[in-house]
């Protein structure tokens, strides 16, 4: 990989004698890491742990993830290890046991959003946003697979969050950047890099920060990150924010053995990840607290007019037993779709709906057409699914992959039931039995498009089950 000359000169000055090790690391293959879904896995895999994440693990090689049904079931997420440091920022600066309103502003494709969803309490609300609509659909897909049920996916420009004044307790801004930290994973990032682009990104990041700052509560926490090493997009932006607003830098307690580098800049502390010092890509993170007293999370009071439409009692009666503890949920209807959100989050969710464009919310449970019911894919993947209400069929690897390709499969049974199809006990989706034939209801837009190998076995190429993943 040939690096831009001005980038090399700056990094030589920044790293001094360590530059040679840094440059050598960029020529090595990027490590492969995953973060498991502790809502769906009973025990962690037998793999080396990412030291700053309780659910992050390194793989010895990169399997063909597309052909692993566990990925499609939401059992894990393929995520770069350095970015999992978000977990330390949240655990050390936020009381995660309390009900929180959390914003992941730049959420796609979903790594940080699903990570946050695993860390916050069931009584908390996560708003995962992506400004680009096509990427917001990918974000919604990954949030749905994760199955936590207390997430709203939105697609709005940062400036539109000004409508939610002092709403969020925590904001995560993984800002669009010049991508220096992704050089060895993405050769295109090298081609697109320039000093001019670095400066443009730094200015855009400042605009983003100011656009959303008003939506953070007094006493609230901002976690800012990029995948760059330059100071303009990192420390300088944090110093600039401190000049504009009354802020406090929040240092973190890090183990020296991790290899993470703490940087000090005008009284602000940030954390840098270099590939010659950590098993991960380039990354920067800083935590800022907004001045003022923290306010109560809830208690905004009921408004007279809601945007969310409750489902009728008849419709609720048809589907309420499809979720465990149905009394915990507010049942909503949009057209023919019945969805559920935790009842304690209804007021907050409606406020978001009043102010933003919402792509997906809670758990889409069913499509109702008169007395006809169709369970929806999100229900199958939800942690709140009540399996006792459905016939279940366990698939082997080959049948699971055929289902995920949206190819017809068959079972040795007859009837007219909706069947929940599982792999290693984890739901993959729905099929409708019509006699001895099964209609495949896997979402068309999510299907595996690649051809399946001629011989499919539970070997190292296809599935992480080899690492002794135990599903719930």
In a domain, 190, yes or no: yes
The set of catalytic residues is 227
Q: How many domains does the chain have?
A: 3
Q: What is the mean pLDDT of residues 174-179?
A: 97
Query: Do both 243 and 330 map to the same domain?
Result: no
Query: Do both 341 and 369 map to the same domain?
Result: yes
CATH number of the domain where residue 405 is located: 3.10.450.720
Query: Do both 194 and 233 map to the same domain?
Result: yes
Query: Do both 198 and 139 map to the same domain?
Result: yes
In a domain, 265, yes or no: yes
Q: How many angstroms from the chain centroid is the CA of residue 97?
A: 19
Cβ(158)–Cβ(131) under 8 Å? yes
Burial of 385 by CB count in 10 Å (0-12 exposed, 13-18 middle, 19+ buried)? buried
In a domain, 160, yes or no: yes
Confidence of residue 305 (pLDDT cuts 50, 70, 90): confident
What count of Cα atoms within 13 Å lies in the side-chain half-sphere of residue 382?
Answer: 27
In a domain, 104, yes or no: yes
Confidence of residue 410 (pLDDT cuts 50, 70, 90): confident
Q: How far apart are CA 2 and CA 306, in angstroms?
A: 57
* pLDDT the model gives residue 304: 63
- Mean pLDDT, the chain, whole residue set: 93
Query: Do both 219 and 264 map to the same domain?
Result: yes
Query: Do both 234 and 345 map to the same domain?
Result: no
Q: Is the predicted pLDDT of residue 460 greater than 70, yes or no?
A: no
| Residue pLDDT, tens place only, 220-234 | 999 999 999 999 999
Q: How far apart are CA 17 and CA 431, in angstroms?
A: 60
In a domain, 306, yes or no: no
Query: Do both 129 and 249 map to the same domain?
Result: yes
CATH number of the domain where residue 155 is located: 3.40.50.150
For the whole model, what pTM was predicted?
Answer: 0.95
Q: Look at residues 350, 355, 349, 347 and name the one whose alpha carbon lies nearest to residue 301.
A: 347
Confidence of residue 302 (pLDDT cuts 50, 70, 90): low
Query: Do both 375 and 394 map to the same domain?
Result: no
Q: What is the mean pLDDT of residues 21-35?
A: 96
More confident residue, 62 or 285: 285
Q: What is the mean pLDDT of residues 281-293?
A: 96
In a domain, 331, yes or no: yes
Burial of 388 by CB count in 10 Å (0-12 exposed, 13-18 middle, 19+ buried)? exposed
| Residue pLDDT, tens place only, 428-458 | 999 998 887 889 999 999 999 998 887 675 5
203: tokens are 């200015």
Confidence of residue 408 (pLDDT cuts 50, 70, 90): confident
Of 353, 381, 409, which closes a domain? Answer: 381
Euclidean distance between the first and final Cα of the chain, in Å? 44
Q: How far apart are CA 359 and CA 172, in angstroms?
A: 19
Of 358, 381, 404, which closes a domain? Answer: 381
Query: Do both 362 and 404 map to the same domain?
Result: no
Query: Do both 265 and 130 map to the same domain?
Result: yes
Cβ(421)–Cβ(431) under 8 Å? yes
In a domain, 36, yes or no: no
Residue-range definition of the domain harbouring residue 465: 390-471
Q: Is the predicted pLDDT of residue 416 greater than 90, yes or no?
A: no
Query: Do both 120 and 85 map to the same domain?
Result: yes
Query: Do both 336 and 439 map to the same domain?
Result: no
Of 381, 407, 433, which closes a domain? Answer: 381
């Amino acid at each position: 990989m040939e690096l831009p000359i001005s980038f090399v000169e700056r990094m030589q000055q920044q790293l001094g004698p360590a530059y040679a090790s840094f440059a050598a690391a960029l020529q090595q293959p990027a490590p492969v890491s995953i973060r498991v879904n502790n809502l769906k896995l009973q025990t962690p895999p037998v793999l080396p742990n990412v030291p700053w994440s309780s659910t992050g693990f390194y793989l010895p090689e990169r399997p063909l993830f597309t052909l692993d049904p566990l990925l499609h079931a939401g059992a894990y997420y393929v995520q770069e290890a350095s970015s999992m440091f978000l977990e330390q920022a949240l655990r050390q600066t936020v009381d995660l046991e309390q009900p929180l309103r959390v914003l992941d502003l730049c959420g796609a494709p979903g790594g940080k959003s699903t990570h946050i969803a695993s860390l916050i309490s069931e009584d908390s609300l996560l708003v995962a946003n992506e400004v680009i609509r096509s990427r917001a659909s990918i974000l919604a897909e990954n949030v749905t697979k994760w199955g936590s049920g207390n997430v709203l996916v939105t697609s709005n420009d940062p400036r539109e969050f000004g409508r939610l004044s002092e709403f969020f307790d925590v904001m995560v801004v993984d800002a669009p950047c010049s991508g220096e930290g992704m050089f060895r994973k993405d050769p295109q990032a090298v081609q697109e890099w320039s000093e001019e682009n670095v400066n443009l990104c730094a200015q855009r990041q400042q605009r983003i920060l100011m656009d959303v700052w008003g939506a953070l509560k007094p006493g609230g926490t901002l976690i800012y990150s990029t995948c760059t090493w330059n100071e303009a997009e990192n420390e300088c932006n944090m110093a600039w924010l401190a000049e504009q607003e009354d802020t406090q830098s929040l240092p973190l307690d890090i183990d020296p053995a991790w290899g993470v580098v703490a940087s000090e800049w005008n009284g602000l502390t940030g954390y840098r990840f270099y590939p010659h010092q950590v098993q991960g890509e380039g990354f920067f993170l800083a935590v800022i607290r907004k001045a003022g007293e923290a306010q109560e999370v809830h208690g905004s009071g009921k408004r007279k007019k809601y945007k969310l439409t409750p489902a009728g009692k008849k419709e609720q009666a048809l589907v309420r037993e499809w979720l465990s503890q149905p009394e915990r949920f507010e049942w909503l209807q949009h057209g023919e779709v019945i969805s559920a959100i935790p009842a304690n989050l209804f007021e907050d969710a409606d406020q978001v709906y009043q102010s933003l464009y919402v792509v997906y919310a809670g758990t889409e449970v069913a499509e109702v057409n008169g007395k006809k019911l169709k369970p929806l894919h999100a229900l199958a993947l939800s942690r709140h699914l009540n399996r006792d209400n459905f016939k279940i069929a366990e698939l082997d690897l080959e049948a699971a992959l055929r289902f995920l390709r949206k190819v017809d499969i068959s079972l040795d049974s007859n009837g007219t039931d909706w069947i929940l199809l599982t792999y290693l006990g984890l739901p993959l989706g729905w099929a409708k039995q019509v006699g001895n034939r099964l209609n495949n209801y896997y979402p068309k837009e999510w299907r595996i498009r690649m051809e399946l190998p001629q011989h499919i076995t539970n070997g190292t190429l296809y599935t992480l089950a080899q690492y002794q993943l135990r599903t719930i």
